[in-house]
Amino acid sequence: MRFPTVISRVRGAAALAVVVLAGCASGLPFQSSASRQGAGEPAPPTEMITEQLIQVQKQQAALQRHQDISSLIVKNPAPYAIGAGDVLSIVVWDHPELAGAGMPAAAAAADAGTLAASVAANATPPGFVVDHMGRIQFPFAGLLPVQGLTEEQARALLSQKLAKYIANPNVTLRVQSYRSKRVYIDGEVKSPGLQAINDIPMSLTEALNRAGGLLPTADQSRIAIERDKKHYDINLRELVQKGIDPNTVMLAPGDLVRVHSRDESKVFVSGEVITPKSLTMHDGRLTLNEALGESGGVSPLSGDARQIYVVRKTPEGATRVFQLDARETGSIAMAEEFELRPKDVVYVAASPLANWNRNLSLLFPGALTSAVGVTTRP
């Protein structure tokens, strides 16, 4: 008779499955990972998520985020200082004979027709170009050092030189083309590239606006500034929370500003959840509760709410494993307070019954189905 044979097979499968699954019923097998690898390295210990652990994590995160950016904060920026490469427009009133001197340095001796062609070719507007030594050449004044001076200071210096030849000279001097100081904007902005520093102070927000603003994929919590081989991480939202006006973060010539993408700060949710997926952090913040919620939550059929893990790779290269028991009192509040970090992996382990069913199906495919089929026949 076939029925006892099938039943015996099922009983044998169940007995063998109990032995095989004895070590699997505990959930995520971190303890046996070293033996499977054969390297003899100890598995990372599992740390339970508690109120004390969350407080320690918050303190560590605050220390990591604390960075001295006082060198970037300038509340009263100085006026623009003339630099090498700038083009100056100079007018001496009542002396039109000096107006012809305002020509590009490369075409100072050219006629009007040649001058127009040279200007178009070199894209240099008419004016007095500050040479590499920070000087301009002006009639009667000779070589005039103007680098590092403001427009007002350069005008006063030129008036002083011309006073030896012209009575009470009335001079107008301004920067016609700003070419000596630039910053570079890269990353998640509409128009990345070079931005010239002009008479309007180049703050961080000014630079971002000139680059067309932030893209929807930009991470406002990860804006990097590179200056003199130093790296500064700027979190715009955190600055506002601290009462620091982002307009007071001033850029200097040669600064590199990079706006990171939110896709670089992903968190991965896998295991026994409704919808395993990768999630982008919300301007640098995503809690464990939010990650589980956006993934549909723990599967009611196969998930084990007692075994919710967070696997994290530290900057030093070590691996840390955190566990949350969602059945404990206050676990939801702790999940909301536990902040994830970029590249964290959230894993929900299967329940012991789900593990038993899956492994039994792998060991003896069709055994349970055959047993059910026999018992239900008339």
Closest of 11, 3, 10, 46 to residue 349, by C-alpha: 46
CB 171 within 8 A of CB 101: no
pLDDT per residue as tens digits for the range 94-143:
888 776 545 444 333 334 344 444 444 445 567 899 999 999 999 888 89
| pLDDT for residue 43 is more than 80 | no
pLDDT per residue as tens digits for the range 184-237:
999 999 999 999 999 999 999 999 999 999 999 898 888 999 998 899 989 888
pLDDT for the residue 125: 61
Is residue 117 situated within a structural domain?
yes
Token pair recorded at residue 378: 């008339």
Is residue 113 situated within a structural domain?
yes
Residue 312 pLDDT level (bands cut at 50, 70, 90):
very high
Number of neighbouring beta carbons within 10 Å of residue 177: 18
pTM for the whole structure: 0.67
Are 72 and 209 in a shared domain?
A: yes
Are 212 and 255 in a shared domain?
A: yes
Q: Within a 13 Å sphere around the CA of 103, how many CA atoms are in the beta-carbon half? A: 18
Are 101 and 234 in a shared domain?
A: no
Are 258 and 213 in a shared domain?
A: yes
Residue 253 pLDDT level (bands cut at 50, 70, 90):
very high
Of 177, 209, 224, which marks where a domain is finished? 177
Is residue 205 situated within a structural domain?
yes
Q: Tell me the CATH number at 229.
A: 3.10.560.10
pLDDT for the residue 195: 95
CA distance 272 to 309: 11
Are 299 and 150 in a shared domain?
A: no
- CB-based burial, 4-18: b 16+ in 10 Å, e otherwise: eebeebbeebeeebe
Are 71 and 124 in a shared domain?
A: no
**Residues in the chain, overall count:** 378
Is residue 316 situated within a structural domain?
yes
CB 48 within 8 A of CB 213: no
Domain housing 249? 67-76+181-262
Closest of 290, 279, 298 to residue 339, by C-alpha: 290
Residue 148 exposed, middle or buried by CB count within 10 Å (0-12, 13-18, 19+): exposed
Q: Tell me the CATH number at 134.
A: 3.30.1950.10
Of 262, 289, 320, which marks where a domain is finished? 262
pLDDT for the residue 225: 95
Is residue 16 situated within a structural domain?
no
Are 254 and 272 in a shared domain?
A: no
Are 348 and 311 in a shared domain?
A: yes
Structural domain count of the chain: 3
Of 111, 142, 177, which marks where a domain is finished? 177
Is residue 300 situated within a structural domain?
yes
Give kind and range of the element (H or E) at residue 359. Answer: helix 352-363
Strand runs labelled E in the chain: 46-48, 87-92, 128-129, 135-138, 142-145, 171-177, 182-187, 193-196, 218-227, 230-234, 256-261, 266-271, 277-280, 303-313, 319-324, 345-350
Token pair recorded at residue 294: 């956006």
Are 35 and 156 in a shared domain?
A: no
Token pair recorded at residue 191: 């128009």
